[in-house]
Amino acid sequence: MTKTLFVLCLCLAFLCSAALTPSLALSGENWRPIGTADLDLKAPIVEKDADAEALFWEVRLNDDPQGDLIFNHYVRIKVFTDRGRESQSKIDIAFGKFSGREIKISDIAARTIKPDGSIVELKSGDVLSGQSSRRVV
């Protein structure tokens, strides 16, 4: 029982430290490799009629010493149809105040990998600010 508890605590400590470690990949400096299975995927897995599907969505939480709560999102979306391309080409990210605290958005990075393998990186001029959201075009 003691040995099992020790292993459980060790795993928990590892998970906590992994969750609080900042990720360079989330700011676009270090993109994760894409497997051939994801590149070759021709149809959605979860909902067979979907126009696009999130292959994964990782959220890392960092509670920094200044009292800020930082969420880093890393999302990979596979687009299957023209309608999916249109719906995923512009993404609104809500910000403003939540529970009396200001929500700030920074370090937006994105890229598109076209079917021919060419890569198009998001340019800073493609990020538009509005009153209550930022649009990534």
pLDDT of 137: 53
Q: Looking at the chain, which runs of residues are DSSP E strands?
A: 52-63, 69-79, 91-94, 96-98, 101-103, 111-113, 119-121, 127-129, 133-136
User: Hey, is 35 helix, strand or coil?
Assistant: coil
Per residue of the chain (137 residues), what is the pLDDT tens digit? 333 223 333 233 333 333 333 333 444 567 899 888 998 999 999 999 999 999 989 999 888 888 778 888 899 999 999 999 999 988 888 777 777 777 778 888 899 988 888 999 988 888 887 654 555 55
Domain count, the chain: 1
Nearest to 76 by CA among 35, 24, 47: 35
Domain containing residue 105? 2-136
